[in-house]
Structure 1
Amino acid sequence: MAWNRRDAVRAAAVTLALTGLAGLTGCSDDSSPSSVASKAASAVASIGAQATGAIASATAEAGRKLDDVKNGVDAKDAVRLGTPATDSAGRSTVEVTADNTDGSAKSFAVQVEFKDEGGNLLDTVVVTVSDVPSHKSATATARSNRELSGGVKTTVGTALRY
């Protein structure tokens, strides 16, 4: 998992807080400061593994959705993303605009990647912009699978016109 700076600060704060609490409570051998710190580090690692699993699952699902597109052509240059925002449920969103330059109505499958400020992948989704009329544009909204913290940037991973 790629942690951002905020995640690292939180992990350090939890570890220090638990270590400090253990020291103040006059611990037995089972709850020594080093034992508590070790348990806190294990908990943080477990959370990291869960997040890594969530990203892997989202990436696999995005791949399956793109694989379902039949006779798709690369349309990455025909797609643009708006400014990322956070919805009322705390999930990251971004408006996806697809420009159809073809002579007939087409749909677009767009993989949107949500990344942290360092460029590390946080989540990925596929959104469909359906039945875009010939020589017109249409929009859809991509929404992350879960809440994302920190500054979130978005990029187009893959875009297919079909």
Structure 2
Amino acid sequence: MQSNGARGPVRLILAAAAVVSLAASLTACSDDSSPSGAASQAASAASRAASAASRAASAATQAGDSLASATAEAGRKFDEFKNGADAKDEVKTDGSANADSDGRATVKVTASNPTSSARSYVVQVDFRDTGGNLLDTTVVTVDDVAANGSKDATARSNRALTGDVDATVARAVRH
């Protein structure tokens, strides 16, 4: 019978043997003594999957950072207009955004001024996917809209967006 002190080395030897056996089965040789195609392909696929996951995580982080930055910038622009009137119901978009040559989403914004003097508008446009997820936000100004008139401007996303993108007026201020 072995003493308790001998069990540790025995277990270590058995574990090492299991690892060597597993490694040998994963790197089984073909007739030409090179690593088997299956093991090599599996290792290569695992490496590609890890690389793709890393790139996806990086892109998601960058997109989140861009969205946070755009949202903060929109807030700063609206903070400049302390005495503006809420005018969200006076501003409309075409709804579906189109991609420009850089892949950025664009949409026509129309401000309709119901007052008796020329006014300017600051408009926050949100770009969302078909699931309603916020992809980007931007602020556009529509200057000098004539009394009882309307004027168009173009809102453009801060970065390239893919897929079906809808654009909505998140908020608007007339001043």
TM-score, normalising length: structure 1: 0.78
Matched with 2:91 is 79
Identity between Structure 1 and Structure 2 (%): 55
Q: Distance in 1 between matches of 2:111 and 2:57?
A: 40
Q: Which of the residues 143, 151, 167 maps onto 1:154?
A: 167
Q: How far has the Cα of 1:43 moved from its partner? A: 2.1
Counterparts of 2:46 and 2:91, CA distance in 1: 52
Deviations 1:120-143 (CA, angstroms, capped at 9, x unpaired): 001100000001111110110001
Cα distance, 1:24–1:57 mapped onto 2, change above 3 Å: farther
Out of 62, 66, 87, the residue aligned to residue 78 of structure 2 is 66
Matching residue's letter, 1:159: A
Q: Could you tell me how far 1:69 is from its partner in structure 2? A: 1.6
Structure 2: which amino acid aligns with 1:75?
A
Rg bigger for which structure? 2
Gaps of 5+ in 1: 1-22
Summarize the alignment of residues 88-127 of structure 1 with structure 2, pairs less than 5 Å apart: 88-127=101-140
Q: Offset of 1:75 from its aligned partner? A: 0.3
- Secondary structure of the structure 1 residue equivalent to 2:78: helix
| CA–CA separation in structure 2 for the residues paired with 1:90 and 1:42 | 24
Unaligned runs of 5+ in 2: 1-36
Q: TM-score, normalised by structure 2?
A: 0.72
Distance 2:102 2:44 in 1: 39
State the number of aligned residues.
138
| Paired letter, 2:152 | T
Matched, 1:51 2:63: yes
Match of 2:40 in 1: 26
